[in-house]
Structures are given as structure tokens and as C-alpha cells.
Amino acid sequence: MTIIRRDPGSPHCPPVDPEKELIHVDCASHTYPDGSVGIHEMCFSVLKNEIVALCGPNGSGKSTLIEHLNGLLIPSQGDIWVSGRSITTGEKTDLWKEVGIVFQHSDDQLFAPTVLDDVMFGPLNLGMSPEEARASAMDALVAVGAERLIAKLPNYLSGGQKRLVSIAGILAMTPRIIALDEPTSDLDPVHSAMTEKLILDLRDRFGISVVIATHDLDLAARIADRVCLVKNGSIFAEGRPEEIFYNPGLIEEAGLRLPDTVRTWLEFCEKQGIASPDRPITREHLVSLLHNALS
């Protein structure tokens, strides 16, 4: 895959490919009731078994795009296709069954008095019986490692535990895609690593495609299969992490900062006068290259 540049104003969205794409967004514009444009000329798709990172600064339109994926927002102009079916002709309710959203602030998501009740909320909305919903909720809580929290009040959970329970609440609905808005933004390093591992598990163990909206490029570099740079309500470049993150001009254009690993490697190469074809984006790869270079 090479970097795809998308210039605003040009017709750029490829046709829907139901064989490969789980969801396809071609949103010419979404305008909020106050007249402000949330996203425009947005072309985005999620493939099977992949982790896509939407990277952009605050207010770039990442969260608005995520809300489109779940049907909370509908394009003012344009359409969304789920498994090849257009939502303007199908049932809007299908979307939340296919795509789950984990919101940025877990306190907005966890409203029930106990963890179990909260995780059961989605399965009950899917029409499961209380027994089925309970079983599904328990499975999800076990999968995220939060089964011991079932009787707890969400108010008494730590930030990391709240995030795990929020993910369990979505996982219990067995969606095909899970979108996480700033999944590690307010977590301590330990819970951040746990959430990161869980995101990888969602793809690897459960076969769920994951979309993360983040301005933490280090996170995106570690876990994403594909990176989309979002700016002013539109995706202007996308590609593999090693392609995107080794293009400092693009990152600067997006209003972001290179990941630590990339910055360290580029500075090292510059100081050592090395012109290396290697593009490390994970810490392990960087350490291995530094070790080789220094020995």
C-alpha cells in the first residue's frame, strides 16, 4: 500500500466493495444544526480484521466520523454502506448492531447501577432474553478480564476499569466493528497498556475490526494496520503506519507530532550520518536497529 493523497474538491471516493469492506462512508458533508460543518468530502472504509487509526488534532472531525459509523449521525449529503447495503434505503438500526462505539469518557457510557446491568444493556436491546443477555455480558467481561467487577458500582471503578467495562458493554453485543474514541487518553500507563492489548485481542481473538480515533501517534504506530490523517473534517492521507509516519511533511500538515520511535530513529540516523532504508515504528524494532548500529 502506498500513501493515498486526497485533495479536497476532487471526486475521490472509490466505489463500494462489499467483498472487502465492512463499512464504507462517502460523506460529501455533515452539517450540524448550528451550521458548522463537522466533516466534508469524507471517504472512509473499514476492512475485515484490521485496526484503522484516525489521527488528527482536536476538532479535526474524528469523533464526528465515528458517530457516523454507528448511525448516531447521518451524512447531510452522501451515504454509508454496511456490508454493501446503503443505510438510506435500509434500517438505520442495523448500524448499531454492526458497529459499537466506546466513547472517550467512560462516565458518559456507564450509567447503570452495577457493572453487570450496564454490560447487559446492549444485549437486551438486541432482543436477547435476560438469561442470554447475562451470559453474553459475562462472556464479554471475562474476555476483557473484568469478571470480578460484575457487582461493582461504576462510580467505584478506576479509570482503567471503567474503560474495560465500557469495551465489555460493546463486546457483549458481538459487533463486527468496534470504534474507540481516544481509547487511552486519560489512562495511567498500566491501564493504557491493558487497553492496547485488548484492542489487539479484539482483532486477533475475536476477528473484530477496530477503528481508533487518536492524536497519540505512538499508540497508532504500535497497533494500527492503516493510518488515516484527518484535518478540517476530511481524510487527506492514508497508508501503512511506516509510510505515513516516515513522512514528516504529512504529519506536520496534519498538525501532529511524529511518534517518539520515529523521531528517535530519524535523529539517530541524522547524527550518525546513516541513510537507512529501515523504518522502525515499534520500540522493539527500534531497539534492535540501535543495538545493531551500535555494535
Partner 1 sequence: MATAMISEHIPDLDLITTYAERQNSLFSRVSPWTKFFMLILIVMMITLTRNLVILAALYWLILLVYWLAGLPVKKLFQWYTMPVVFVITLVGILAWTEPGTAVLAIPLPGFTLTLTDNGVLLVITLLLKALISISFSLFFLMTTRYEYFSGMIYRLFPEPLDQIFLMAYRFLFLTLAMTGSMLKAVRSRGGGLIHSIRVQGKLFAEVAGLVFIRSFERAERVHKAMIARGYHGAGSYTAQTKIPSPGFAEYGILAAAVLAIIVTEYVFPYSGGFFL
**Interface ranges with partner 1 (CB under 8 A):** 67, 70, 72, 93, 96-97, 100-101, 103, 105, 107-114, 116-117, 120-122, 124-126, 130, 134, 151, 153-156, 169-170, 173
Smallest gap from residue 72 Cβ to partner 1 (A): 6
Report the distance separating Cα 254 and Cα 214, nearest Å.
13
Q: For Cα atoms 78, 80, 83, give the angle at the middle one, nearest 5 degrees.
A: 150
Nearest CB to partner 1, comparing residues 156 and 190: 156
Contact 84, 108 (CB under 8 A): no
Smallest gap from residue 152 Cβ to partner 1 (A): 8
Contact 214, 54 (CB under 8 A): yes
- Alpha helices for 58-129 (secondary structure H): 62-70, 94-98, 106-109, 115-125
Nearest CB to partner 1, comparing residues 48 and 105: 105
Nearest CB to partner 1, comparing residues 127 and 273: 127
Helix (H) or strand (E) holding 234: strand 234-239
| Residue 207: C-alpha distances to residues 132, 198, 293 (Å) | 22, 12, 38
Nearest CB to partner 1, comparing residues 16 and 211: 211
What single-letter amino acid sits at 69? L
Q: Extract the C-alpha cell encoding 70.
A: 454507528
Question: What is the CA 233 to chain-centroid distance, rounded?
Answer: 16
Smallest gap from residue 76 Cβ to partner 1 (A): 18
Nearest CB to partner 1, comparing residues 68 and 222: 68
The alpha-carbon radius of gyration of the chain (Å, integer) is 20
Smallest gap from residue 1 Cβ to partner 1 (A): 30
Read off the DSSP letter of residue 77: E
Report the distance separating Cα 232 and Cα 54, nearest Å.
13
In the chain, count H helices and then E strands: 12, 11
Nearest CB to partner 1, comparing residues 30 and 231: 30
Smallest gap from residue 285 Cβ to partner 1 (A): 36
Nearest CB to partner 1, comparing residues 16 and 99: 99
Report the distance separating Cα 5 and Cα 13, nearest Å.
12
